[in-house]
Amino acid sequence: MNIYLAIILAALIGEFVLRGIARYFNLKALDAKLPDEFRGFYDEEKYRQSQEYTRAYAKFAYVSATFDLVLILAFILLDGFNYVDNLVRGLSLPPIPTGLIFFAALYFVREIISIPFSLYTDFVIEEKFGFNKMTIRTFVWDKVKTYFLVIILGAVLLGGILYFFEKTGVYAWVYAWGMVSLFIVIAPPLFTTLIAPMFNKFTPLADRELKDAIQQYAKKVNFPLTEISVMDGSKRSAHSNAYFSGFGKKKRIALFDTLIDKHSTEELVSVIAHEVGHYAKKHILKGTILSILHMGMLLFLLSQFVENRGLFDAFRMEETSTYAGLIFFSLLYSPIELVLSIGINYMSRKHEYEADAFAAETIASPAPLMVALKNLSVSNLGNLTPHPLTVFLNYSHPPVLQRIAALRQLSGSSTPA
């Protein structure tokens, strides 16, 4: 067997098995006994629902992951890539348009196949547990807008990468890295000003008490807050969240309307303080730098494999091409990507602890944030007892009980609030 094909098949099957084992242990870790920390927050029925919610997603993940694995293995072993390549080459277009059509064909076929799974997630699982607020019309319209963005951004980014690798020789990866790095930097303000308003409505925060409290806090910690908006998250889901965005000295805080409805002013300020903690601790800057370095390594390695005939032979391709090389290298690179994602998640969890500590320090007490975390977990039916392997592989945030325990250490308290 071709060595590259062996590595790719082993990686796909290995990751499938690893994640399956993690889901199994995660289900076994569900504990019917409510942790003392959450007494007075979860009632018996609500806690039972949270565990059923975890089970529903785990069982569905077994089905969807198995389907995905069978699909990609069949596509590889039945020469699907070569078949699609011959179809797009039959259009007799230059290499770059041919490559973009190749990417688009693979993306949209996969997307069409995945739609039933998305519908089941939103209109069966989320609906069953009272989270789904989306209509079919909204679902379809979201898909249309997403496809529009994929076409535009895909044409720019993938077209640019193909251009550099086709035209600029040995230093193609450097030029491509520069282009992708620029996009990583401008993506947050691009999302805030153009993309987010395509999907949600943002209105100025009308609650004067909450607005004054947030502004006073921002002034206290020298956070350059220029706008506080409310996002109509309830248009799609009952889940709640908050985030800040912005470029340079202009920062914008967006609160989901569902978040405002479920939390006190004190809790909401503590949530904002946590988000500000990421800014104060330069987590966003560190994440951006890490993403840029990651892309540089990825593109350099790509340049070493993009014309490797053995890699194309693994997929029984009749012709070599830069665009197909991108796909094949991404599959070959997947074991490294898994390891990197574990490292990135570890760093993210560390950053969450730091942001929690910053919030507790700057609002003078960890109590409001602990209450906010508990209420957030209850309203989102969070899993209170995830298995360590699941946390290790998948969690970008520490489990809520561990976050609360860390906050208690800051206050010197060991008694549940």
Tell me, yes or no, if 267 is annotated catalytic: no
Task: Give the pairing of strands 250-256 and 225-231.
Answer: parallel
- Angle at which helices 283-305 and 322-332 cross, to 10°: 120
pLDDT recorded at residue 248: 63
Cβ–Cβ < 8 Å for 177, 294: no
What is the per-residue pLDDT for 416?
A: 60
Distance CA 274, CA 405 (A): 16
Residues whose CB falls within 8 Å of the CB of residue 234, separated by 6 or more in sequence, listed in order = 133, 256, 257, 258
Look up the pTM and report it. 0.91
Q: Does the annotation mark 275 as catalytic? A: yes
CA distances from 53 to 34, 112, 126, 316, 380 (A): 15, 26, 9, 43, 10
Q: Which candidate in 85, 267, 275, 352 is catalytic?
A: 275
The 10s digit of each residue's pLDDT in 324-361 is 999 999 999 999 999 999 999 999 999 999 999 999 99
Report percent pLDDT > 90 for the chain: 81
Per-residue pLDDT of the chain (417 residues; tens, 9 = 90+): 799 999 999 999 999 999 999 999 999 999 999 999 999 999 889 999 999 999 999 999 999 999 999 999 999 999 999 999 999 999 999 999 999 999 999 999 999 999 999 999 999 999 999 999 999 999 999 999 999 999 999 999 999 999 999 999 889 999 999 999 999 999 988 888 889 899 999 999 888 999 999 999 999 999 988 888 999 988 898 888 888 776 666 778 888 988 898 889 999 999 999 999 999 999 999 999 999 999 999 999 999 998 899 999 999 999 999 999 999 999 999 999 999 999 999 999 999 999 999 999 999 889 999 999 999 999 999 999 999 999 999 999 999 999 999 999 987 665 565
> What phi-psi label fits residue 412: left (phi over 0), alpha (psi between -120 and 50 degrees) or beta?
left
pLDDT at residue 293, rounded to an integer: 95
pLDDT confidence of residue 412: 67
Within 121-171, where are the H helices? 126-128, 136-167
Catalytic residue among 85, 122, 126, 356: 356
Q: What local confidence, expressed as pLDDT, does residue 269 receive?
A: 95
Backbone angles phi, psi at 42, to 5 degrees: -95, 130
